[in-house]
């Protein structure tokens, strides 16, 4: 089994990575970082893996967490919210983690009224438990 983290290049991703690593260490399992790109070829996938690997290592080092095995899973998903959500849900279906950790950003009252956000889609449609992490600020 594993703990999966939906990764995006935002500040909430660091919090999600940290909590995902904490959950993986607690459960004695592997951390899998899922990152969605617009299109996928070998060069893009490798460049993303390298950048994400640096981010994961920094978060793990800064958080002083127990050592945890981890891997990066890069998937193609397009730009639209629905495409990204679908790509993440497909990856979760393939990987079958015991938990999905996602980061959330603060939304305005008007923003909360709009349906279709990636976070909302993952919470409603993932077939595994979802842990949402947001900044306390």
pLDDT(116) > 70: no
pLDDT of residue 124: 92
Structure-block tokens of residue 30: 């592997």
The model's pTM: 0.86
Q: What is the pLDDT of residues 23-61, one digit of tens each?
A: 999 999 999 999 888 777 777 677 778 888 888 888 888
Structure-block tokens of residue 110: 């008007």
Q: 1: part of which helix (H) or strand (E)?
A: none
pLDDT(85) > 80: yes
Nearest to 118 by CA among 68, 70, 80: 80
Structural domain boundaries, residue 107: 2-134
Q: Are the CB atoms for 97 and 4 separated by under 8 Å?
A: yes
pLDDT of residue 11: 60
Count of the separate structural domains present in the chain: 1
Q: What is the CATH number of the domain that holds 85?
A: 3.40.50.620
Structure-block tokens of residue 4: 């999966």
Q: Are the CB atoms for 77 and 38 separated by under 8 Å?
A: yes
Nearest to 34 by CA among 46, 52, 18, 50: 52
Rounded Cα gap, residues 26 and 121, in angstroms: 27
The mean pLDDT value for 83-109 works out to: 89
């Amino acid at each position: 089994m594993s703990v999966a983290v939906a990764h995006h290049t935002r500040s909430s991703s660091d919090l999600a990575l940290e909590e995902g690593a904490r959950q993986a260490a607690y459960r004695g399992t592997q951390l899998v970082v899922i990152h969605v790109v617009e299109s996928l070829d070998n060069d893009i996938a490798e460049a993303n893996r390298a950048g994400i690997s640096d981010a994961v290592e920094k978060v793990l080092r800064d958080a002083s967490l127990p050592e945890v095995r981890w891997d990066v899973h890069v998937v193609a998903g397009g730009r639209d919210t629905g495409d990204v959500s679908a790509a993440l849900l497909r990856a979760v279906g393939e990987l079958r983690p015991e938990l999905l950790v996602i980061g959330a950003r603060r939304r305005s009252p008007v923003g909360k009224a709009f349906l279709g956000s990636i976070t909302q889609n993952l919470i409603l449609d993932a077939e595994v438990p979802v842990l949402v992490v947001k900044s306390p600020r």
